[in-house]
Amino acid sequence: MPAQTSAPQILDLEVKDVRVIFKPIWEDLEEEVGQENLRFPKEIILLGGAPGAGKGTQTRFIMSARGLTCPPIVISDLLTTPEAETIKSQGGMVGDKEVISLLLRKLLEPQFRDGVVLDGFPRTQVQVECLKLLVDKINQLHNDYANTPLAIHFRRPTIHAMVLFVSENTSIARQINRGREIAEHNRKVAETGVGKLVEQRATDMSEETVRRRYRVFKEQTWNALTSLKQLYHYHFINAEGPIEEVEENILKELQYQSSLELDPRTFERLRTLPLADEITLHARQELVRRLDSYELEHVELLARMVELIRTKFLPIITRHALSGRAHVNSEDRVFEDPLAISMLIDIFSERGFHAVVDKHVREVPERVDLVTGQIHSRTKFIYRIQIHFKGSKIRRG
């Protein structure tokens, strides 16, 4: 009798032991493709959520927000064996070992090198632990190849966990409504022959199955998803509202943060340079201070600049009022004063214009030495000023 009861216990342990699941999958993969070809995505977005939360709808939006052009990896689409289909049709979930094995091979496809959205992963705590082992392996590869010509293929991964949440009532209502809409669409296609049939999910056809899907999510997937907040960049999205509101929440969560996404060495190299926001934060106050200092400390130069703008620049700007862009070339010697260009830009900024100044140096021949053939030239300075402003609209549509 003891021998009969011990076998199931060992089998159960093997199924739940993460390392027992992950280790042979990784070893098979390493042997199959070779270590130097274990090139995984730089960015992995884990998209999870309740049934009916809109993962399919928001996947495209998330990919666009992150600049990803490759298709998402939809975990349910990877699991197409007959056994897996039977389990899914009943509202259950396929085993972790099969999920991990198929996913790792899929992630190695070159199209996912820069980034990928994983729709529906992880769904169990075992899958979370396997993900941790995968990230550890990728980081180890990064260290192994850091000082080799292949280093660019083994960057440290950035992991985002994005969870779309809706209540049970919302989930059930959306799934049932989706099933009805697809059924009605397919009926019209069958009757008219116009359009294409849409795959009908068996789980959207009965309220009992729909409730079971949500219950499985809460009992098995929810804890797995919430555990990710201790590990990776975690984004909780309330998906109850309109699509536009949900998209706005997603954009706020996915705002670029260089400290989170760049390799630490790259970030340290760049952080000495100020951010644009830091430069523009007090730009208005600094502009006022400079203009007042011109009036107090450089009154003659300021007067010359104002007169030059009034007589030479404004007539040209006025003629380009519709386009909102004017180009002015000047050889006025006032610009020989280094402060003059800064003053010109500041004056235009205060008046609502944006000015950009380029200084061009040209050698102009003046005479030729007939004995030696030497050409004597003088240096000519040309200041090319581009002035941009909001143009006038003369019609609509």
Q: Does domain 2-272 have CATH number 3.40.50.300?
A: yes
Q: What is the pLDDT of residue 2?
A: 43
**Taking the CA of residue 252 as centre, how many other CA atoms within 13 Å lie in the half-sphere pointing to its CB?**
9
User: CA 95 → CA 88, 182, 352, distances in Å?
Assistant: 11, 29, 64
Q: Which CATH architecture has domain 283-388?
A: 2-Layer Sandwich (3.30)
- Which helix (H) or strand (E) covers residue 248, if one does? helix 243-253
What residue segments make up the domains of the chain, in order of their start?
Answer: 2-272, 283-388
Q: What does the pLDDT average to over 351-366?
A: 90
115 neighbors 45 (Cβ within 8 angstroms): yes
Give the separation between CA 255 and CA 250, rounded to whole angstroms: 9
pTM of the predicted structure, to 2 decimals? 0.64
Q: How confident is the model at residue 81 (pLDDT cuts 50, 70, 90)?
A: low
What is the Rg, in whole angstroms, of the alpha carbon atoms belonging to the chain?
32
- Least trusted range by pLDDT, from 26-30, 83-87, 199-203, 261-265: 83-87
Give one DSSP letter per residue of 276-302, joined into a string: HHHHHTTHHHHHHHHHHHHHHH-HHHH
Q: What is the pLDDT of residue 210?
A: 84
Q: What is the pLDDT of residue 154?
A: 92
Give the separation between CA 12 and CA 20, rounded to whole angstroms: 12
Query: Tens digits of per-residue pLDDT, 333-353?
Result: 999 898 999 999 999 999 999
Helices (H), ranges, 34-95: 55-66, 75-78, 82-89
Q: Which is nearest to 119 in space by CA: 79, 170, 179? A: 79
Residue 296 pLDDT greater than 60, yes or no: yes
3-state secondary structure of 382: strand
Q: What does the pLDDT average to over 184-191?
A: 86
